[in-house]
Amino acid sequence: MTIQNQVAEMQQRALGELGTASDLVALDEWRLKYLGKKGELTGFLRGMGQLPPEERPIVGQVVNAARKALEEADATRLIGLQAAALNQRLASDQVDVTLPGRPVETGRVHIITRTMREIVAAFTAMGFQIAEGPEVELDYYNFEQLNMPPGHPARSMHDTFYFSESVVLRTHTSPNQIRVMEKQKPPIRVIVPGKCYRSEATDATHDFMFYQVEGLAVDQNITLADLRGTLTDFARRLFGPERKVRFRNDYFPYVEPGVDLSIDCMLCDGKGCRVCKYSGWLEILGAGMVHPQVLRNVDIDPEKYSGFAFGMGPSRIALLKYGIDDIRQFFRNDLRFLEQFA
Amino acid sequence: MIKVPLSWLRDYVNLTLSPEELAAGLTLRGLEVAEIIRVGQDWDKVVVGQVEKIEKHPNADRLVVLQVTDGNEVYQVVTGAFNLKEGDKIPLALPGAKLIDGHKLVDEHAAGKRTEPLLESGELPYFTVKAGKMRGVDSNAVAVAALELGISEDFDGIVVLNSEFPVGETLAAVLGDVILDIELSPNLGRALSMVGVAREVAAMTGEKVYPPEIRVVEDGSPINEKISVKIDDPDLCARYSMMVIEGVKIGPSPDWMQNRLSAVGIRPINNIVDITNYVMLEIGQPLHAFDYDELQGKQIIVRRARPGEKMQTIDHKEHELTPEILLIADANKPIAMAGVMGGAESEVKDTTVNVALEGANFDPANIRKTGRGLFSTVSEAAKRFERSVDIELTVAGVRRGMQLMQEIAGGKVSRGIVDVYPQIRSPHIIELPLSEIPRILGLTIPRDEVVKMLEALEFEIAELRPDGSFQFRNDNKQYTIMVSETISSQDILMVRVPTYRNDVTIKADLIEEIARQYGYDKIPESRLQGELPPQVPNLAYEFEDKLREILTASGLFEIITYPLVSMDSLKNLHAALGESVAPPTNPGGPHLHSLHWTDPAHLLTLANPLSSEHEVMRPTMLGSTLETVAENRRFVDRVPVFEIGRVYHKIEGELLPDERRTLSLAMAGRRVPLSRFNPKVTENDRMDFFDLKGVVEHLLARLNLAQTEVQFEPVTAGYHPALHPGRAVDIFAKAPGKNGESKRLGYIGEVHPRVAEAFQLDPMERIVVGELDLELLLPLVERERYQAVTRMPVVTQDMAIVVGDEVAAGRVQKLIQETGGKLLKQVTLFDIYRGKPVPEGKKSLAFRLAFHPQDKNLTEEEVSKLRQRIEGRLVREVGAETRA
Ligand SMILES: [Zn+2]
């Protein structure tokens, strides 16, 4: 048998054995046996020294061709076996994917905070600055400077908690209009969120504590049309672009003209339901042009400057937005309630 | 609130709009229609019937048998009412009609299940009319009482209808009505009458107002012979008018008047009293009728009460009077509390023959004070005076009252009127530059239009004369204004305000009138223009949001509780005080210091709390937080919460307190959720001190207090009676430098079992709480600075040391950290071991040290050198033994 034939026979045998190498370990053994340093193929090369010199290159070529063929076969087989091994691992790794995942528990921001952030963000985007003020407030700021001297009939709309004749729990965030304007001169654009208090009996729609967000813009040439445009933009941003907005006359002693802004009831689409008291409208904020006397009280000339102010209740807005039926839920802090709002 | 029946309103103005349009229009103008009430819309199958015959019931003395026709058919009706006579027209309910079940209402009232007024006592029972027998006699329809129709509380007799109503007509057609229930803001006193609302309707629709025509036949004695009036306090009573009528016959007022009063919610009493109410509702002037013969000295004196003076009001309550109260008195004694309530003695009774009728104008603020000070409900008169009444209405009111009394109750009216009006008020005149309209409203309206709008509201516009002066009709006075280069007389309207518009005094008020008349719904929409104020961040507000972000990510829920707390809640925080060490005398500063929490000297207490539940402004948030934990623990097994709020501390010598932003924290209950990954939620899985400490450490690390060293120190005995003495720390912020000031930021700790018990919590459960003073924390926060992140391999090594049990692990960790220096980025205590082979009284602490090389790879030598230095220091300073 010629060496060529021996090599050919070996190659065939090797390829046959390769087919039976069923895992990576067997493949390693196979490789050692044929392609290893002491493998059969190397044996041919080693035996080449005994061949006549003219045959050597020929045998060399044959051996190298066989090596190439075996290496290629090896690589292919390796890929096949690796894939099979991976598939097997994946198969044995299988789980019941319908089982629940590992629980994640995180906290939540309070729904009132979230609603407040939404309101405040809508106005900061329009250049309003955030201010804050004290909750325990002087009667002077809460009423007197806002055109409500003692005995003013509008005071009867503010059931007031007081500590002494001159110190009250603020009934609205409006005293901050005065506090801001005492310190700052036009142009002014501020938004003041905070807690307010009224000594009212509590029920599903009233609580003695609530939040308010106050807004104030003062400059030359600010008009009622600006007020309407600004607050209509706001209402649609918060409640959706399809909302109808009603703009009507209302009364607050510290504005003139006064305004009430309502949106069409989203619960009944304006047809009338219990929540909107069958009117089809939901009041969301009170507003108006800052009263000239209020401007004068803080040494801003009402002949030169004008402005608008508005106030709204995040509790009421959240109530409407999420269809919550009892305002007392907010400060009861039942986690089963709070976790409903992402 | 005022109820306006359209049937009544129609007397004074043509109604050209549907009730819905009317309601929507009035609402836009500021008269908010809360409800459109339709009377009679459910009177199906109730018609006008006429009684043809009345006979006794053959089997029952207390029943009668009626024959009633509806024009087509005669119905036999059995009824228990005896108020009818043949020929009367009555509401007849035919089979199928649905009526309110009056018998059931009366029975339920008798059984104590309902209160009067019955029609407002909740869900009403109804019954359907059917033909049947009553005590053996056929009854084929029902003769209806007022209660059964829902128009009044009367259930004693059958309603007798106006004899002019056509027989067979539906009742709804003759008695049905639409009532607008209007909510009125305090400036809308002028709309507290039918004429007042009619004026608004007229201004809206362009119709004319027809006030009632007043004609009185003055056929009695001259008024000066009957009565004299003196006003001692004209500051509280600007005008007082009075007439006297003699020989009246007291009795019920006519049905039409009773029906109108009932429709607006006023109970009919007798003709004289009803007339005073009727006139008030009609034109807005409150009237008061006195029994003339009870007036001593035939004299009326309007004066302040004298100290110690007493009087009994018509509700038969005795009142002790003070000089703030304005009285109507006769020569001897008080006879009425001016504008608020009449006196019992001088009230009109069945025996009254002669009546003195008062129409006056009282000071709104004083009425408000008196009325609300003494009575739980505000009388109809006071409601109007509070909002101020047209000063020109006193005479018209008295004369209208006299007219109706004469027509209804008979009698002779005195000649003339007493009208005391010390300081005559002239109408307001306002100069309105037309440029104010675009400046404030953002729209331009031609001068003629503006004039028309104001005139529709009964404002008078002065005529501009050729010489540039202004003159009003019926007024000789000429008004001139300052003209300048920029403003001429043409650009200005001189406006005279109707006397009933007390709410209009300045330009801005007129601008609002123009906007109302123009239509709020037509105001254009524009956006703010012009320069923005300087934009500066609100650090405190942003800081709060940052805290929320970190804490919610740490698993905590934000809560918001009432800052008004009960004294009991604060006392509960001291439930363990008796058992802890005596409190130190000077805990230093009030903030977060538990020993002051119940000290009235530091607390703000409401003068008028709604209840003791909420009467003190909290000096700490701990109580509210624990209440929230307790409330939630009833329903959920895990309560991790935080609140960002304020605590309130009195400041000596200041009116307003220190309101300090504070963070309150609490964790209680299971640590990890029950799941197949954690099948046994055992005692070891409960949250404790270290859960919250971890949160706080994480929070403070995230806030980046780079220059500040945060120190957790075991609490000083006695400082924190609300906390577990062995599981609580004070948190200090130490400023940089050796002598850097140390400030107490707050505390965390487990709640003392006694305190837990006081808050209805399980004393065996660990509840860990904390508070941080954000006012102190905020200024310590620094901007994060970039630090290079190494790209070289990090070397980690474990190190175990044995120290005495008494050595605080924190101290060991700090020593390691300090000694390790810059290269030692992280020191993690990962095991604590007691027991063999560690000797008794000692513990083994295992740390993992992570060395981060800076600019070149760390050699083993460098690391072991550092390690030796660390070990050496531990041996020296805490007597550590090192273990392999
Ligand atoms: Zn609705």
Shortest Cα–Cα distance, A337 to chain B (Å): 11
Would you say B141 and B93 are in contact if contact means Cβ atoms under 8 Å apart?
A: yes
Compare CB distances from A151 to B32, B365, B605 and report the shortest one's residue: B365
B600 with B632, same domain: the answer is yes
* Beta-carbon separation of A257 and B608 below 8 A: no
Mean pLDDT of chain B: 91
Structural domain boundaries, residue B844: 795-883
B281 with B305, same domain: the answer is yes
Residue B579 has pLDDT above 60, yes or no: no
What pLDDT, on a 0 to 100 scale, did the predictor assign at position B589? 44
Residue A260, token pair as written in the block:
């009430």
CA distances from A330 to A129, B279, B504, B546, B610 (A): 27, 47, 41, 22, 19
Distance of CA A338 to the CA centre of its chain: 16
What pLDDT, on a 0 to 100 scale, did the predictor assign at position B377? 78
* Beta-carbon separation of B535 and A109 below 8 A: no
Q: Is residue B427, in this structure, part of any structural domain at all?
A: no
Is B120 exposed, middle or buried, given 0-12, 13-18 or 19+ CB atoms closer than 10 A? exposed
What pLDDT, on a 0 to 100 scale, did the predictor assign at position B584? 53
Which residues 6+ apart lie within 8 Å of B467 measured at CB? none
Instruction: Dihedral sign for Cα A252, A256, A260, A261, please.
Output: negative
For residue B435, list chain A residues with Cβ-Cβ distance below 8 A. none
B761 with B811, same domain: the answer is no
In this structure, what are the phi and psi dihedrals at residue B95, rounded to the nearest 5 degrees? Answer: -50, 135
What CATH number corresponds to the domain at position B78?
A: 2.40.50.140
Task: Write the single-letter amino acid at B65.
Answer: V
Query: CA B852, CA B288: separation in Å to the nearest integer?
Result: 94
For residue A223, list chain B residues with Cβ-Cβ distance below 8 A. 438-442, 526
Query: CA A273, CA B850: separation in Å to the nearest integer?
Result: 66
Nearest residue of chain A to residue B544 (CA atoms): A113
Hey, which residues does B231 pair with through a beta bridge? B302
The three-class DSSP label of residue B287 is: strand
What CATH number corresponds to the domain at position B611?
A: 3.30.930.10
CA of A262 to the centre of ligand 1 (A): 12
In this structure, what are the phi and psi dihedrals at residue B388, rounded to the nearest 5 degrees? Answer: 75, 135
What pLDDT, on a 0 to 100 scale, did the predictor assign at position B578? 65
Compare CB distances from B531 to A113, A187, A229 and report the shortest one's residue: A187
Task: Write the single-letter amino acid at A254.
Answer: Y
Helix locations, B457-528, DSSP H: 507-518
pTM for this entry: 0.86
For residue B324, list chain A residues with Cβ-Cβ distance below 8 A. none
Shortest Cα–Cα distance, B665 to chain A (Å): 13
Q: Is residue B430, in this structure, part of any structural domain at all?
A: no
Domain boundary among B749, B780, B811: B780
Q: How many residues does chain A have?
A: 342
Pairing state of beta strands B658-669 and B824-833?
A: unpaired
* Beta-carbon separation of A187 and B673 below 8 A: no
Least confident of A25-29, B1-5, B479-483: B479-483
What pLDDT, on a 0 to 100 scale, did the predictor assign at position B369? 84
Residue B548 has pLDDT above 90, yes or no: yes
SS3 letters across A24-62? HHHHHHHHHHHHCCCCHHHHHHHHHHHCCCCCHHHHHHH
Shortest Cα–Cα distance, B610 to chain A (Å): 6
Compare CB distances from A110 to B368, B559, B631 and report the shortest one's residue: B559
Cα–Cα nearest to B9, from B152, B182, B164: B182
Pairing state of beta strands B177-183 and B32-39?
A: antiparallel
Which residues 6+ apart lie within 8 Å of B283 measured at CB? B193, B194, B195, B211, B212, B393, B396, B397, B400
- Peptide bond connecting A187 to the previous residue in cis, omega within 30 degrees of 0: yes
The three-class DSSP label of residue B728 is: strand
* Beta-carbon separation of A136 and B656 below 8 A: yes
B604 with B705, same domain: the answer is yes
What mean pLDDT do residues B268-274 have?
A: 94
Say how many domains are in chain B. 6
Instruction: Dihedral sign for Cα B132, B137, B139, B140, please.
Output: positive
Task: Write the single-letter amino acid at A301.
Answer: D
What pLDDT, on a 0 to 100 scale, did the predictor assign at position B853? 86
Query: CA B491, CA B450: separation in Å to the nearest integer?
Result: 12
Q: Is residue B726, in this structure, part of any structural domain at all?
A: yes
B76 with B11, same domain: the answer is no
B169 with B188, same domain: the answer is no
CA of A227 to the centre of ligand 1 (A): 25
Nearest residue of chain A to residue B514 (CA atoms): A257
Reported as a pLDDT band with limits 50, 70 and 90, residue B683 is low
What pLDDT digit, counting tens, does each position of A277-288 carry? 888 899 999 999
- Helix A24-35 to helix A56-92 angle (10° resolution) is 170
Nearest residue of chain B to residue A112 (CA atoms): B560
What pLDDT, on a 0 to 100 scale, did the predictor assign at position B308? 87
What pLDDT, on a 0 to 100 scale, did the predictor assign at position B682? 66
B707 with B802, same domain: the answer is no
Query: CA B481, CA B375: separation in Å to the nearest integer?
Result: 49
Q: Is residue B758, in this structure, part of any structural domain at all?
A: yes
What CATH number corresponds to the domain at position B17?
A: 3.30.56.10
Integer Rg of chain B from CA: 41
For residue A110, list chain B residues with Cβ-Cβ distance below 8 A. 557-560
Query: CA B445, CA B514: separation in Å to the nearest integer?
Result: 9
Cα–Cα nearest to A212, from A137, A126, A296: A137
* Beta-carbon separation of B442 and A167 below 8 A: no
For residue A232, list chain B residues with Cβ-Cβ distance below 8 A. 525
Residues 39-78 of A with CB under 8 A from B: none
For residue B672, list chain A residues with Cβ-Cβ distance below 8 A. 103
What CATH number corresponds to the domain at position B300?
A: 3.50.40.10
Reported as a pLDDT band with limits 50, 70 and 90, residue B587 is very low
Shortest Cα–Cα distance, A288 to chain B (Å): 10
Residue B244 has pLDDT above 90, yes or no: yes
Q: Is residue B210, in this structure, part of any structural domain at all?
A: no
Other CB atoms within a 10 A radius of the CB of residue A118 amount to 15
Residues 125-184 of A with CB under 8 A from B: 126-127, 129-132, 134-138, 150-154, 156-157, 161-164, 166-167, 169, 184
CA of A264 to the centre of ligand 1 (A): 8
Other CB atoms within a 10 A radius of the CB of residue B306 amount to 12
Domain boundary among B753, B780, B807: B780
Strands, E, within B40-136: which ranges?
A: 46-56, 64-69, 74-79, 89-93, 98-100, 126-128, 132-134
* Beta-carbon separation of B655 and A150 below 8 A: no
What mean pLDDT do residues A138-153 have?
A: 93
Least confident of A47-51, B167-171, B782-786, B826-830: A47-51
Reported as a pLDDT band with limits 50, 70 and 90, residue B290 is very high
What mean pLDDT do residues B472-500 have?
A: 84
Which of B558, B665, B675 has the highest number of chain A CBs within 10 A, making it the mutation to test binding with A?
B558
* Beta-carbon separation of B521 and A246 below 8 A: yes
Query: CA B804, CA B879: separation in Å to the nearest integer?
Result: 8
CA of A237 to the centre of ligand 1 (A): 20
Reported as a pLDDT band with limits 50, 70 and 90, residue B720 is confident
* Beta-carbon separation of B606 and A100 below 8 A: no
* Beta-carbon separation of A136 and B554 below 8 A: no
* Beta-carbon separation of B528 and A230 below 8 A: yes
What pLDDT, on a 0 to 100 scale, did the predictor assign at position B593? 61
Query: CA B310, CA B575: separation in Å to the nearest integer?
Result: 50
Query: CA B800, CA B881: separation in Å to the nearest integer?
Result: 9
What pLDDT digit, counting tens, does each position of B313-371 carry? 888 888 888 898 999 999 999 999 999 888 988 999 999 999 999 999 999 988 988 87
What pLDDT, on a 0 to 100 scale, did the predictor assign at position B39? 87
What pLDDT digit, counting tens, does each position of A196-247 carry? 999 988 888 889 999 999 999 999 999 999 999 999 999 999 999 999 999 9
What pLDDT digit, counting tens, does each position of B129-141 carry? 999 998 889 999 9
CA of A340 to the centre of ligand 1 (A): 23
What pLDDT, on a 0 to 100 scale, did the predictor assign at position B559? 98
The three-class DSSP label of residue B449 is: helix
Which of A114, A115, A161 has the highest number of chain B CBs within 10 A, making it the mutation to test binding with B?
A161
Hey, which residues does A169 pair with through a beta bridge? A136
CB burial string B620-657: b at 16+ within 10 A, e below: bbbbbbbbbbbbbbeeeebbbbbbbbbbbbbeeeeebb
Q: What is the DSSP letter of A276?
A: T
Task: Write the single-letter amino acid at B91.
Answer: P
B256 with B307, same domain: the answer is yes
For residue A217, list chain B residues with Cβ-Cβ distance below 8 A. 528
What mean pLDDT do residues B535-546 have?
A: 93
Distance of CA B560 to the CA centre of its chain: 20
Residue B591 has pLDDT above 70, yes or no: no
What pLDDT, on a 0 to 100 scale, did the predictor assign at position A199? 93
Reported as a pLDDT band with limits 50, 70 and 90, residue B788 is confident
Which run of H or E residues covers position B200? helix B194-205
What pLDDT, on a 0 to 100 scale, did the predictor assign at position B586? 45
Which of B430, B487, B528, B631 has the highest number of chain A CBs within 10 A, making it the mutation to test binding with A?
B528
Q: Is residue B213, in this structure, part of any structural domain at all?
A: no
Q: Is residue B810, in this structure, part of any structural domain at all?
A: yes
What pLDDT digit, counting tens, does each position of A30-78 carry? 989 888 888 888 888 787 778 888 888 888 888 888 889 889 988 999 9
B57 with B34, same domain: the answer is no
B642 with B742, same domain: the answer is yes
What pLDDT, on a 0 to 100 scale, did the predictor assign at position A142? 97
Residues 257-296 of A with CB under 8 A from B: 257-260, 277-279, 289, 291-293
* Beta-carbon separation of A334 and B524 below 8 A: no
Query: CA B617, CA B604: separation in Å to the nearest integer?
Result: 6
Pairing state of beta strands B228-231 and B299-304?
A: parallel
Would you say B251 and B410 are in contact if contact means Cβ atoms under 8 Å apart?
A: no
* Beta-carbon separation of A258 and B30 below 8 A: yes
B345 with B476, same domain: the answer is no
Q: Is residue B561, in this structure, part of any structural domain at all?
A: yes
B358 with B333, same domain: the answer is yes
Which residues 6+ apart lie within 8 Å of B426 measured at CB? none
